[in-house]
Amino acid sequence: MLYVIGLGLSDETDISVKGLEAVKSCTRVYLEAYTSILMVDKGKLEAFYGKQVIVADREMVESESDKILEGAQEVNVAFLVVGDPYGATTHTDLVIRARELEIPVSVIHNASIMNAIGACGLQLYNFGQTISIVFFTETWRPDSFYERIKENRNLGLHTLCLLDIKVKEQSIENMARGRKIYEPPRYMTIQTAVEQLLEIEENRQENAYTPDTLAIGCARIGTATQQIVSGTLEELRHVDFGGPLHSLVLVGSRMHFLEAEFVKAYAVDKASFEKIAERDYHVKQ
Is 158 labeled as ligand-binding? Answer: no
Is 240 labeled as ligand-binding? Answer: no
Is 113 labeled as ligand-binding? Answer: yes
Is 276 labeled as ligand-binding? Answer: no
Say if CB 137 and CB 224 are below 8 A apart: no
What number of other Cβ atoms are within 10 A of residue 78's Cβ? 28
Is 163 labeled as ligand-binding? Answer: yes
DSSP helix/strand/coil, 2: strand
Q: 155-183: b or e for each residue (b if 16 or more CB lie within 10 Å)? A: eebbbbbbbebebebeeeeeeeeeeeeee
Say if CB 197 and CB 249 are below 8 A apart: no
Is 246 labeled as ligand-binding? Answer: yes
**Strands (DSSP E) found in the chain:** 2-6, 28-32, 54-56, 77-81, 105-108, 131-133, 159-163, 165-166, 186-187, 214-219, 227-232, 246-250
Is 9 labeled as ligand-binding? Answer: yes
- Binding annotation: 9, 84, 87, 112-113, 163, 246
- Binding annotation for S-adenosyl-L-methionine: 9, 84, 87, 112-113, 163, 246
